Copies of this chain bind each other. A is one copy, B any other.
Amino acid sequence: MARAATTSDAFNAIAEPRRRQILSFLVVGERQVGEIVAAVGLDQPSVSKHLGVLREVGLVHVRRNGRHRLYRTNAEAIRPLHEWTATFERYWQHTLLRVKQRAEAQIQDHPQSDSKSHKEKP
Minimal beta-carbon separation of A71 from chain B (angstroms): 14
With A24-B87, A75-B92, A91-B27 known as contacts, the answer to whether A14 contacts B11 (CB < 8 A) is yes
A15 contacts B11, C-beta separation under 8 Å: yes
Q: Which one of B12, B82, B95 contacts A82 once the chains associate, using CB atoms below 8 Å?
A: B82
Q: How many subunits of this chain does the assembly comprise?
A: 2
Does A76 lie at the interface of the complex (its beta carbon under 8 Å from any beta carbon of B)?
yes
**Pairs A–B under 8 Å by Cβ, sample size 15:** A3-B3, A3-B6, A3-B16, A4-B16, A4-B17, A11-B20, A20-B84, A23-B88, A27-B88, A75-B91, A75-B94, A75-B95, A79-B85, A81-B81, A81-B85
With A24-B87, A79-B85 given, name 8 new contacts (CB 8 A). Answer: A4-B15, A11-B14, A11-B15, A12-B15, A23-B88, A27-B91, A75-B89, A78-B85
* Nearest 10 interchain pairs by C-beta: A75-B91, A82-B85, A75-B92, A15-B15, A75-B88, A78-B88, A12-B15, A81-B85, A76-B92, A11-B15
Where the two chains meet, the residues of A that have a C-beta atom closer than 8 Å to any C-beta of B are 3-4, 6, 11-12, 14-17, 20, 23-24, 27, 73-76, 78-79, 81-82, 84-89, 91-92, 94-95
